[in-house]
Amino acid sequence: MTGGGAVYGPISSYSRVRILHLLFEAGTVESRPELTIGELCDATGLHPNTVREHLQRLIDGGYVIQSIEHRTTRGRPRVLYSAATGMPEASSPVARDKVAEAARRGDMMRRILAEEDSGLGREATYQLDALIEHLEESGFEPVIDERELTVELSPCPHAASAPEHRPTLCQVHLGLMQGVLNQAGGPLAADCVRAAARPEECTVQLRLDAA
């Protein structure tokens, strides 16, 4: 991903990766897409203060949303946490601001460089602006092939991670990228992490959905 192998942001800590993975999984359960700190502690084995610290960093980064439980009975409402997937019902104000700024900077750079239209369209171009900024903010140096719709992130700094951690890392990273694309709004989606012959290889395949 980066030449120096330094990763920042949500996937720089495997504890945060585990928390995000749990929140992404909870988001697939329509009846209960949120989790409490207690539930996250039970699932990860982490101390509540540690979980709170990780959650705050994820909220500040626009990756997690905090809400207060709506109660119909007496009792103190619980604080609930969910993954910011970029969909209308799970959108973070921080993430929205990041996407808007990415589009503004992208437009400025295109004017300076007098770049020609890629042919993908305005919405997809803004999606790529947001995705590139997200990846660069996380310490990566993405190379995007707009014709093949691939994002090259080799060499992957997670190559030395424990083999049993790699599937979760890849799944969470793909989910974060999809969240950015959803937040920007447009036809591009993060399809999959391509199978690789070597651990240091990482290529993400994008998909252009029909209008």
Q: What is the CATH number of the domain that holds 178?
A: 1.10.10.10
Note whether residue 153 is domain-resident.
yes
d(CA 123, CA 131) in angstroms, rounded, equals: 12
Question: H/E element holding 61?
Answer: helix 48-61
**Is position 132 within any domain?**
yes
E runs forming strands in 49-187: 64-68, 79-83, 143-145, 150-152
Q: What is the pLDDT of residue 211?
A: 59
Is 54 part of a structural domain of the chain? yes
How many domains are contained in the chain? 1
Which residues are bridge partners to 188 per DSSP?
A: 208
By the 8 A CB rule, do 150 and 205 touch? yes
Tens digit of pLDDT at every position of the chain (211 positions): 334 457 788 888 999 999 999 999 999 887 778 999 999 999 999 999 999 999 999 999 999 999 998 877 777 888 999 999 999 989 999 999 999 999 999 999 988 988 776 788 999 999 999 999 999 998 889 999 999 999 999 988 788 888 899 999 999 999 999 999 999 999 999 999 998 889 899 999 999 997 5
195: containing domain: 9-208
Percent of the chain as helix, strand, coil, to the nearest 5: 50, 15, 35
The angle formed by the CA atoms of residues 9, 13 and 19, to the nearest 5 degrees, is: 95
